[in-house]
């Protein structure tokens, strides 16, 4: 049950990451900055110097793949605790990268907070 809910949390987080949820502010005019929203997967955020959101999306995909293929890979892996530890570490990295991008690049948004909370739920389920 915990694994299934973790898969749902990560899948929903990835769906939200595909939506325009990263706020980027450009100086189009001296008096009035231009604010646009982009996806976590958009190369615009990397070009704007905010590569933390793209790393968050990449690590989220890796965790989702590990969660989905855990049953398939279990006969191939002798010690399953390594896969569990990798999932926990990658999820912890995702939890740290999201607020870091908010602080460094001022990219906080409602969808970003929801994505962060979904990552926290997935970490909590993996730790319990």
Helix runs in the chain, H state only: 2-18, 43-47, 52-73, 81-105, 110-127
Q: Contact at 8 Å (CB) between 41 and 18?
A: yes
Give first-to-last CA distance, the chain, whole Å: 12
Per-residue pLDDT of 11-24, as tens digits, reads: 999 999 999 988 88
DSSP letter assigned to residue 42: -
Domain ranges of the chain: 2-16+50-127
Rounded Cα–Cα distance for residues 32 and 76 (Å): 57
Q: Which residues, given as ranges, of the chain have pLDDT below 70? A: none
Per-residue pLDDT of 72-86, as tens digits, reads: 777 777 777 788 888
């Amino acid at each position: 049950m915990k694994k299934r809910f973790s898969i749902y949390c990560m899948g929903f987080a990835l769906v939200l990451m595909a939506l325009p949820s990263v706020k980027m502010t450009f100086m189009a005019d001296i008096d009035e900055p231009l604010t646009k929203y982009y996806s976590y997967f958009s190369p615009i955020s990397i070009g704007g110097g905010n590569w933390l959101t793209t790393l968050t999306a990449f690590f989220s995909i890796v965790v989702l793949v590990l969660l989905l293929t855990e049953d398939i890979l279990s006969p191939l892996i002798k010690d399953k605790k390594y896969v569990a530890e990798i999932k926990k570490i990658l999820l912890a990295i995702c939890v740290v990268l999201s607020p870091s991008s908010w602080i460094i690049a001022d990219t906080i948004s409602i969808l970003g907070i929801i994505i962060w909370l979904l990552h926290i739920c997935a970490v909590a389920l993996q730790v319990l």
